[in-house]
Amino acid sequence: MLERVNRTRSVRPGKIFGAPGDGNSGFISLLTALVLVALWFLVTESGWVKPLFLPSPLAVWDKFMLALTEGVSNSTLTQHTLASLTRVFGAFLLALVTAVPIGILMGVNRIVRGLFDPIIEFYRPLPPLAYLPLVIIWLGIGEFPKVFLIYLAIFAPMAIAARAGVRSVSTEQIHAAYAMGATRGQVIGQVIMKAALPEIFTGMRIGIGVGWTTLVAAEMVAANRGLGFMVLNAAENLESDTVIMGIFIIGIFAFAFDLLIRYLEKVLIPWKGRI
C-alpha cells in the first residue's frame, strides 16, 4: 500500500497539484482537426457518402481555386469576402463606438439605464430573421440596412458587457479616487472605464461572434455579393462544395479575429483575473 503511494508522482515538478484542466491542449486540438479531415477523406474517397451530401476535400479545394480565379455567383471569392468583411466590421466598429459608451452610462446613470434597459432586453433575444422584414421595409434594400441588422445583433451583447464591467470596479477604488480629489468625470473616465475593460473585451468577442452569425441573414435579401449570399445561392443550386467552402471561409475569418482580440486582451489588460 505504502509502496503504491510512494510510486505515484502526484504532479510534475513545479506544477501545482489539483489545478483543474492544467496543461497545454493545443497539440490535442491539432490532432482532432487532423483526424476529422482524415475521416472526411476516407468517407468521400471510398464512396460511402454521395458528393451531394458531402463533397470530397479535393472537390472543395477545386471550387475554392475556381472561385478565386473565375468566381461563383457572378463575383470572385475575394469580392464576396470583401463585401462581407466590410459589412461585419463596419457593424462591429459602429457598435464599438456606440454600445460601449452607452453600456458604461447605463452602469453609472440610472436615467440612461432606465431608457435603454427595456429596449435592449426586449430585442436582444429576438432572432434577426424576425425583424429583418421590418428593417427592409424601413430602411430599404441598400447597403445600410444590411450593416444595420448586424449592428443591432452586436450592439446588445456589447452594451450589456460594458454595463456589467462597471460593476467590476470596487467601491474602495472609487472612494480612493474621490479621496484624492477626483471629479465624477475623472472617476468614470480614469477608474470605472479602465476597470470595465476586461468585460468590454469579453463583450467584443461575443459581439463579433453574433455578428458573423447574423451575416447570412443580412445577405438573404437583395444582396448580389457576400459570403452569406454566395452560400445561400449555392444551396439553392445544390452546390454543396461551394456551401462548405463558404462555411470554411467564414469560420477562418471569425476564428482569426477572435485570436486577434484574445491577443490584444493579453497585451492590453495583463491584470485580468489577477486582482
Partner 1 sequence: METLSVRNISLTYPGLYSDQAVIALKGVNLTIRSGDFVVALGASGCGKTTLLNLMAGFMAPSEGDITLGNHQVIGPGAERGVVFQKHALLPWLNVIENTEFGLKLRGVDKATRRELATRNLALVGLQDFHRHMIYHLSGGMQQRVGIARALTCDPAMLLMDEPMAALDALTRETIQELLLKVWQLTNKMFFFITHSVEEALFLGSRLIVMSPRPGRITHTYELDFNRRFLAEGNARAIKSSPEFIRMREEVLGIIYGDERESGNPEVAHA
Residue with smaller CB distance to partner 1, 125 or 270: 270
Residue 180 is a binding residue for partner 1 (CB under 8 A): yes
**CA neighbours closer than 13 Å in the CB half-sphere of residue 91:** 30
Residue 124 is a binding residue for partner 1 (CB under 8 A): no
**d(C-alpha 120, C-alpha 200), whole Å:** 17
Produce one character per residue of 113-149: b if its CB has 16 or more CB atoms within 10 Å, e if not: eeebeeebeeeeeeebeeebeebbeeeeeeeebbbbb
**d(C-alpha 178, C-alpha 225), whole Å:** 54
Residue 108 is a binding residue for partner 1 (CB under 8 A): no
**d(C-alpha 71, C-alpha 91), whole Å:** 26
**d(C-alpha 250, C-alpha 257), whole Å:** 11
Residue 178 is a binding residue for partner 1 (CB under 8 A): yes
Residue 173 is a binding residue for partner 1 (CB under 8 A): yes
Residue 118 is a binding residue for partner 1 (CB under 8 A): no
- What residue type is assigned to position 165 of the chain? G
Interaction mask 191-230, partner 1, x per CB under 8 A: x--xx-x---------------------------------
Residue 179 is a binding residue for partner 1 (CB under 8 A): yes
Q: Which of 14, 18, 26, 181 binds partner 1 (CB under 8 A)?
A: 181
The window from 9-17, 120-128, 205-213, 266-274 that contacts partner 1 (CB under 8 A) reads: 266-274
The widest CA-to-CA distance across the chain, in whole angstroms, is: 78
Residue with smaller CB distance to partner 1, 74 or 190: 190
Q: Which of 88, 96, 106, 177 binds partner 1 (CB under 8 A)?
A: 177
136 SS3 class: helix
Residue 188 is a binding residue for partner 1 (CB under 8 A): no
Residue 267 is a binding residue for partner 1 (CB under 8 A): no
Q: Which of 56, 79, 186, 213 binds partner 1 (CB under 8 A)?
A: 186
Measure Cα distances from 76 to 67, 82, 221 in Å. Answer: 6, 10, 20
Residue 52 is placed in which grid cell?
A: 451531394
Residue 274 is a binding residue for partner 1 (CB under 8 A): yes
DSSP 105-119: HHHH-HHHHHHHHHH
Burial class (CB in 10 A: 0-12, 13-18, 19+), 152: buried
How far apart are CB 114 and partner 1 at their closest, in Å? 24
How far apart are CB 263 and partner 1 at their closest, in Å? 18
- Residues in binding contact with partner 1, number by CB under 8 A: 23
How far apart are CB 199 and partner 1 at their closest, in Å? 14
The window from 89-97, 139-147, 206-214, 267-275 that contacts partner 1 (CB under 8 A) reads: 267-275
Q: Footprint of partner 1 on this chain (CB under 8 A)?
A: 170, 172-173, 175-183, 186, 190-191, 194-195, 197, 269-271, 274-275
